[in-house]
Structure 1
Amino acid sequence: MATPLPAGLTAGVYEIDPSHTAASFSVRHAGIAKVRGSIAVTSGTITVGEDLESSSVTAELDAASVSTGDAGRDGHLKSADFWHADEKPTWTFTSTGIRADGDDYLISGDLTINGITKGVELETEFTGTAKDPFGNNRAGFEAKLEINRKDFGLTWNATLETGGFLVGDKVKIELDVSAIAKEA
């Protein structure tokens, strides 16, 4: 049985607007605090079908754009210890299915980081539509997921004197997406 689209969202192709879209992450540091950062979403397409099941999402992110507020840490994250940003600069997400989850949605898909692809699930909220001052029809979405960084070959760490490790394994990722409807 086909699941209807959320109220206000119409079928069509929507291009993700990088200047109004953000991807942020947080990870435990030394087991006591969180380091937060962002990475640029450079492009993507949301294809909204006549129903939820016939819809799809693709997105690309730029590993070299990482920003945590500390240039030294950002450089380390871009290095071969973590993201290999020079060799593997693009992260990708390609949906494999979308389904309703109460008032929200679950988007299953393949996430590729550091050249390694794993299946993930994004808890997603449709935040509405609007016409911007330039006449563009926009659709908004918020999504979140949690990954284990080691699943993507991000294994660098340092042992703490007091026990434990410097970098936590769980990484929380949040996305705020604004997409513009393409003219038919």
Structure 2
Amino acid sequence: MAKTKWVLDSMHSEVQFKLKHYVISTVTGYFKTFEGALETENEDFSGAIVELSLDVNSIDTTQPQRDEHLKSAEFFDAASFPKISFKSTSFTKDGDDYKLVGELTIKDVSKPVTFAIEHGGVAGDFYGNTKAAFEVTGKINRKDFGLTWDGVTEPGSIVVGEDIKLIASIQFAKQA
């Protein structure tokens, strides 16, 4: 079977992250600019190759001051490392869903990560395009990727949690 290429439809996709703030509340942020592609030889997407790239300068937590801190050298260092990238090493069926394994690169650190994938299905749109949708979830430890800034308050509360939940709703458009 020939390879089928799919391109990420950013208008119908979102990439977000969640982390604990002072251990008691959750902060949610988004990457507003990203791109990606999927290539498969199978109708069921097993064995697909997935690549994603996030623009660090597009980070948005709805608080401009916090966003600037996240872009600074204390966190993502967007000036030196403007992209976060992911390239899959395997995409396998896991019951009705999938398991996606690959290399995640943040700053100059690349590590293997695993994401759970829920396949939303394939459908045609009003313009004759074929779309495939996926819900992606996973968790990483920010310190594994060199995001080591820590703030501790006077009474000893940790300002930023180490675990980051990643959630993405991704839609791909099949290429002719």
Mapping for residues 43-122 of structure 1, pairs under 5 Å: 43-50=35-42, 52-122=45-115
Q: Which amino acid aligns with 1:48?
A: T
Give the TM-score normalised by structure 2.
0.94
Mapping for residues 134-149 of structure 1, pairs under 5 Å: 134-149=127-142
Give the TM-score normalised by structure 1.
0.90
1:22·1:41 contact (CA, 8 Å) conserved in 2? no
State whether structure 2 residue 9 is matched by structure 1 residue 17. yes
Q: Deviations over 1:35-72 (max 9, x none)?
A: 11101352111112226553210011101100001000
Identity %: 36
Identify unmatched segments of 5+ residues in structure 2.
none
State whether structure 2 residue 161 is matched by structure 1 residue 174. no
Q: Which amino acid aligns with 2:10?
A: P
Mapping for residues 23-42 of structure 1, pairs under 5 Å: 23-42=15-34
Q: Distance in 2 between matches of 1:53 and 1:133?
A: 27
Q: Tell me the residue number matched to 2:144.
A: 151
2:7·2:175 contact (CA, 8 Å) conserved in 1? yes
How far is the alpha carbon of 1:11 from its aligned partner?
6.2
Q: Distance in 2 between matches of 1:127 and 1:21?
A: 13
Identify unmatched segments of 5+ residues in structure 1.
1-9
1:41·1:59 contact (CA, 8 Å) conserved in 2? no
Q: Tell me the residue number matched to 1:124.
A: 117
Q: Deviations over 1:122-148 (max 9, x none)?
A: 100110111111211101000101000
State whether structure 2 residue 143 is matched by structure 1 residue 160. no
Question: Aligned residues, how many?
Answer: 174
Q: Which amino acid aligns with 1:81?
A: E
1:21·1:41 contact (CA, 8 Å) conserved in 2? no
Q: Distance in 2 between matches of 1:70 and 1:52?
A: 38
How far is the alpha carbon of 1:160 from its aligned partner?
1.8
Q: Distance in 2 between matches of 1:136 and 1:66?
A: 29
Q: Distance in 2 between matches of 1:143 and 1:81?
A: 27
Q: Tell me the residue number matched to 1:3.
A: none
- Runs of 4+ residues deviating >3 angstroms: 51-54
Q: Which amino acid aligns with 1:71?
A: P
Q: Which amino acid aligns with 1:18?
A: S
